[in-house]
Amino acid sequence: MKIGLPRALLYYRYGDFWRRFLTELGAEVVLSRKTDRVLVQDGVTRVPGEVCLPIKIVAGHLAELAGRVDAVFFPRLVWQEDRLYGCPKMIGIVDIARMMYGSAPRLIAPAIKGGLFWPHFRAGLEVNPNPAAVLRAWRRSASLLRRTEVEPSLPEGERRVALIGHFYNIGDDYIADALVRAFVDRGYRIVTKEELPRRVLRSRTGFAGKIRWTYERELYNAFMYLKQRVDGVCVVISMGCGPDSLVAELMREEAERQGLPFLQLVIDEHTGTAGLVTRIEAFVDLSRRRVRAAA
Amino acid sequence: MRATFPYLGYDTPAIRAFFDCIGAEVVEPLPVSKRTVELGVRYSPELICMPFKVTLGSFIEALEAGADTFFMAAGARRCRFGYYHYLQDRILKELDGRCRMVPVGQYSPYDFFFRVMPRVFEVSPWRVMRALRLMLVKSVLTREFRQGLNRLRAVDFGRAEELRQPTYEMVVKAGTPAEIAAARRELRRTFATNGDRPEVAVGLVGEIYYTLEQGANQDLELELGRLGAEVLFERSLYHHLRYLLGVDLSSYRSRRLAGRYLRECPGGEALRTVGEAMFYRRRNVDGIVHVFPFTCMPENIALEALQKFSEETGMPVLSLSFDEHASPTGLVTRLEAFVDLIKRRKRGRRLHRG
């Protein structure tokens, strides 16, 4: 059985695990191709115009897989431990996928409500009806779910910038490659929330405890953790992202209070790299001048 | 303490009744106008959704009129709405340090009756329950006002607009349950259509604030009435209160119907939007008007489901997304085209049947 995995959204967090899990179940895993302009333009036509870029991108990936596979594995994150929700569009895109596909390819979309084991167990049975085989596949792949528990080393004297954005945006080269390179070329080290330990990301202190979106809480915690430890913060928001529109505002206020250089980049399918790089250059100059003034 | 709350279309008097009954001094919010929206937009984060901006504008106007305690619905779940009050609180505090925001958690009736309200107003939970009962009774009246008005507009637009102001004043004045009952009888008499049926009926679905607030949705019910279309709606303060108290059966019906397209609730009113649209089809409505604020997350998912629904059933669906730049002229043109389409379809169908 050929099972397709769209290379978008949750893939950037659970992709390795899913690939191993499905392979262990005896399926042939087919990945959609890396995001490119054609794929994005195709995605744009398949979802309402006001949704955010990552949703448009995933629609493109889903369409790309359509004729090539027997089934598409596309779990739905409703909520995780501590009743932390996924965002409405992430929940709803699975239904949009179902409407898009109709009867073929089959959509394997377990709903994650709490832990990961049961939804994956049930989904595994759809691929391989032998429960023992599903359990074995889970055991062999679950190690890939483990996240780092150590804090990243952030030595003195190094120039760093915190890139605060959702992993499905930062992880997608089509969106973030130019940004990352713009910083790296100017001698900055990029720190993202993926390098931070779970303990930091899941912290409930302060406003973070009130945020009920799982990835948004991680972003906010990452920001609060990194703001003392970096020379500047760059927040990447996709146009139309609901949770970000709120939380980024709080981050901006906090950064202003601290006098920390703060750059907010809003991206959509029309964003050109040239404009972004110019803004990053200006931002880098500003933070350099600030360091010099302090010294 | 001078309390205020965001303006909510024709349901405002019902909310007002709650505060009056509880014995609070109220600063009545002004109807949403161009200035309200402009004020809201000026002080809001750029990318946030419209109900935030409009309610903030409403609050700022009340602040100017001397209000110092602001009541805002809260309850953080999947949609942004539950978080409004954090940011609005900060923004209002910056404008005037003395003001205070009271988030009214929607999903915990216990806290509402026994903790939040008694503490803020220093009254007994019993008094809060009595005030809520009055609000519930009055919201039936405001809902019937809107229903009657919409029907009469479609039949005799001129008379409906003549009667609107005096009748609304009567609705506002009715203060006790007995007066409200009398006002309902009076309402039925004034808005009687004597058996005339409107040519076209459309169902209004969508995000709750934008379906209820005429200032925000450019009063599209009025425009549709002018075109001879009766606007049917399910969403009202009355239904929302019943839903929050756990006694609204229509929400279960919506959930069941919408399951054909959406198996999991994306938050907000998405399931109700889709479920109600499917329900209106059974009630032989001629078209669906779907309204929501620009970049609303749940409604954009519902929009996709409604398009599929429209494809499968042939039901005309007009989706309207509103932002601060929405122009009344553009809206009227689109509504005209939509109603024309419906009328032509109906006539065509009648011809075919011979």
Q: Are residues A27 and A126 in the same domain?
A: yes
Quick one: CA dihedral B6, B169, B331, B34, positive or negative? negative
pLDDT score at B306 = 95
The pTM for the full model equals 0.92
Test A91 with B261 for CB contact under 8 angstroms: no
B16, B26 Cβ separation under 8 angstroms: yes
Assigned domain for A275 exists: yes
Least confident of A93-97, A157-161, B88-92, B257-261: A157-161
B261, B274 Cβ separation under 8 angstroms: yes
| Structural domain harbouring A52 | 2-145
pLDDT digits 0-9 by tens, B58-102: 999 999 999 999 999 998 788 889 899 999 999 999 999 899 999
CA B341/CA B318 separation, integer angstroms: 11
Looking at beta carbons, which residues of chain A come within 8 Å of B267? 85, 88, 91
Closest chain A residue by Cα to residue B85: A246
Q: Are residues A54 and A114 in the same domain?
A: yes
Test B47 with A85 for CB contact under 8 angstroms: no
**Alpha helix positions (H), B27-101:** 34-43, 50-64, 84-95
Test A50 with B294 for CB contact under 8 angstroms: yes
Q: Is A54 on the interface with B (CB under 8 A)?
A: no
Q: What single DSSP character describes residue A113?
A: E
Which among B297, B305, B321 has the least Cβ separation from residue A95?
A: B305
User: Rounded to a whole number, what is the distance in Å from the CA of A245 to chain B's nearest CA?
Assistant: 5
Which among A85, A92, A96 has the least Cβ separation from residue B77?
A: A85
Q: Are residues A78 and A116 in the same domain?
A: yes
pLDDT at position A110 over 90: yes
Instruction: Select from A235, A246, A247 the residue whose CB has the most chain B CBs within 10 Å, as the one to mutate to test that interface.
Output: A246
Q: What average pLDDT score do residues A264-291 get?
A: 87
Burial of B246 (0-12, 13-18, 19+ CB in 10 A): exposed
H helix count then E strand count, chain B: 16, 8
Question: Which of A85, A116, A145 is at the close of a domain?
Answer: A145
A-B C-beta contacts closer than 8 Å? 109
CA B202/CA B281 separation, integer angstroms: 10
Buried-exposed string A204-213: b where 16+ CB fall within 10 A, e elsewhere: eeebbeebbb
Q: Are residues A141 and A210 in the same domain?
A: no
CA R_g for chain A = 20
pLDDT at position B352 over 70: no
pLDDT score at A266 = 92
Pull the structure tokens for residue B13.
């008097």
| CA B41 centroid distance within chain | 20
User: Rounded to a whole number, what is the distance in Å from the CA of A183 to chain B's nearest CA?
Assistant: 25
Q: Is A242 on the interface with B (CB under 8 A)?
A: yes
Which domains are delineated in chain B?
2-133 (3.40.50), 200-353 (3.40.50.11900)
Instruction: Select from B264, B299, B309, B322 the residue whose CB has the most chain A CBs within 10 Å, as the one to mutate to test that interface.
Output: B264
SS3 content of chain B, % helix, strand, coil (to 5): 60, 10, 25
Q: Are residues A181 and A241 in the same domain?
A: yes
Q: CATH number for the domain including A52?
A: 3.40.50
A30, A23 Cβ separation under 8 angstroms: no
Q: What are phi and psi of A171, to 5 degrees?
A: -75, -20
Test B45 with A246 for CB contact under 8 angstroms: yes
Q: Are residues A115 and A38 in the same domain?
A: yes
Test B300 with A89 for CB contact under 8 angstroms: yes
Assigned domain for A155 exists: no
Q: Are residues A222 and A93 in the same domain?
A: no
How far CA B264 is from CA of B16, B227, B261, B301, in Å, comes to 35, 37, 9, 11
Question: Which of A145, A178, A212 is at the close of a domain?
Answer: A145
Angle CA B270–B276–B280, to nearest 5: 150
Q: Are residues A112 and A168 in the same domain?
A: no
User: Which residues 142-161 of A are in CB contact (within 8 Å) with B?
Assistant: none
pLDDT score at A23 = 95
Burial of B153 (0-12, 13-18, 19+ CB in 10 A): buried
Long-range pairs of B20-24 with CB within 8 A, sequence gap ≥ 24:
B20/B175, B21/B127, B21/B130, B21/B131, B21/B134, B21/B135, B22/B117, B22/B121, B22/B123, B22/B127, B22/B128, B22/B131, B23/B121, B23/B123, B23/B127, B24/B121
Looking at beta carbons, which residues of chain B come within 8 Å of A48? 300, 303-304
Assigned domain for A189 exists: yes
Give chain A's domain count: 2
User: Rounded to a whole number, what is the distance in Å from the CA of B100 to chain A's nearest CA?
Assistant: 18
* Sequence-ordered list of residues with C-beta below 8 angstroms from that of B258, at least 6 positions apart, any chain: B270, B271, B272, B273, B274, B275, B278, B305
User: Rounded to a whole number, what is the distance in Å from the CA of B79 to chain A's nearest CA?
Assistant: 7
- The closest of A266, A235, A278, A236 to A253, measured between CA atoms, is A235
Three-state SS for A50? coil
pLDDT digits 0-9 by tens, B11-29: 999 999 999 999 999 999 9
Q: CATH number for the domain including A190?
A: 3.40.50.11900
Q: Is A50 on the interface with B (CB under 8 A)?
A: yes
Test A88 with B270 for CB contact under 8 angstroms: yes
Q: Are residues A128 and A172 in the same domain?
A: no
User: Which residues 208-267 of B are in CB contact (within 8 Å) with A?
Assistant: 261-267
Test B301 with A240 for CB contact under 8 angstroms: no
Across chain A, mean pLDDT equals 91
pLDDT at position B354 over 60: no
pLDDT digits 0-9 by tens, A15-63: 999 999 999 999 999 999 999 999 999 999 999 888 999 999 999 999 9
Q: Is B304 on the interface with A (CB under 8 A)?
A: yes
Question: Which of A88, A111, A145 is at the close of a domain?
Answer: A145
pLDDT digits 0-9 by tens, A184-229: 999 999 999 999 998 899 899 888 888 989 999 999 999 999 999 9
Q: Are residues A133 and A72 in the same domain?
A: yes
Q: Are residues A207 and A283 in the same domain?
A: yes
Q: Are residues A117 and A175 in the same domain?
A: no
Across chain B, mean pLDDT equals 92
Task: State the pLDDT confidence band at B240, using cuts at 50, 70 and 90.
Answer: very high
Assigned domain for A150 exists: no
